[in-house]
Amino acid sequence: MATRHPRRPGSDLAEQARRAGVRLVRFLYTDNGDITRGKATHVDGLAHRLTDGIGLPELFWLAARWGRRGLGTVLDELIALGALDDGEALAVGRRVLGGNAARIYGLPWP
């Protein structure tokens, strides 16, 4: 009887990327000095990178947290300057935080 090895986490995502024609995946992150950095990997190494490479679960959490904080600061400043009203700032924030991507990829967005 053949031993079945469990699939590597991230292998489904890597396969979806391959089917979509993606060959290179770029990861952007902000380091502890608030410097934005990037790394790239070929799609064949994506599953490995998602589990072992650069600690993406923590990286995604931090990037989302810092990104939301930075976006909020910028939008607050634009409101204070009179460049945007509250509703416009909310609309911009929603687009930046996912609305644009949902529109581009044809996904539902609340």
Q: What is the pLDDT of residues 54-79, one digit of tens each?
A: 555 666 777 788 888 999 999 999 99
39: three-class secondary structure by DSSP: strand
How do the domains of the chain map onto residue ranges? 1-54, 55-105
Tokens of 63: 């990037």
pTM of the model: 0.47
Who contacts 2 (Cβ-Cβ below 8 Å, separation ≥6)? none
Rounded Cα–Cα distance for residues 69 and 11 (Å): 32
Distance of CA 76 to the CA centre of its chain: 23
Name which residue leads in pLDDT, 52 or 28. Answer: 28
